Amino acid sequence: MIDPETKNIIVPRYYQPRPYQIEAWKRKQSGFWNYYFKLYHRQAGKDTSDLQEGMKGAWDNPGTQTAYVGLDNVWISENIFKKTIDGRKFWSEYPDELIDPKDTAKEVYFKNNPEGIAPARIKFIGFLNDQQLIGSSYDSFIISECSLYKRNAFEYIQPIWDQKEAQGKKLLVSFNGTPRGLKNNLYDLLCTYTGVDDPELFPGEHINSDGTIRCYVDRLKANETMIIDERTGELRRLFTDEQLEVIRQRAIRSTGSDNIFRQEYMCDFTAANSGLVYPGIE
What tens digit of pLDDT does each residue of 27-44 get? 999 999 999 999 999 999
pTM beyond 0.85: the answer is: yes
For the chain, the distance separating the N- and C-terminal CA atoms, rounded to the nearest angstrom, is 26
Phi, psi of 189 (to 5 degrees): -65, -40
Which ranges in the chain belong to alpha helices (H)? 19-29, 46-60, 73-76, 158-167, 185-194, 241-255, 259-266
pLDDT at 264: 95
Q: Check whether 282 has a pLDDT greater than 50.
A: no
Pairwise CA distance, residues 93 & 13, whole Å: 5
38-65 as b/e, with b when 16 or more CB fall inside 10 Å?
A: bbbbeebbbbbbbbbbbbbbbbebbebb
Q: Check whether 64 has a pLDDT greater than 90.
A: yes
Pairwise CA distance, residues 37 & 258, whole Å: 25
For the chain, percent of residues with pLDDT exceeding 90: 76
pLDDT classification of 107: cutoffs 50, 70, 90? very high
The mean predicted confidence, pLDDT, of the chain is 90
What tens digit of pLDDT does each residue of 184-238 get? 899 999 999 999 999 999 999 999 999 989 999 999 999 999 999 989 999 999 9
pLDDT at 254: 95
Pairwise CA distance, residues 282 & 278, whole Å: 9
pLDDT at 8: 78
CB-CB contact of 207 with 215 (8 Å): yes
What tens digit of pLDDT does each residue of 109-143 get? 999 999 999 999 999 999 875 666 776 789 999 99
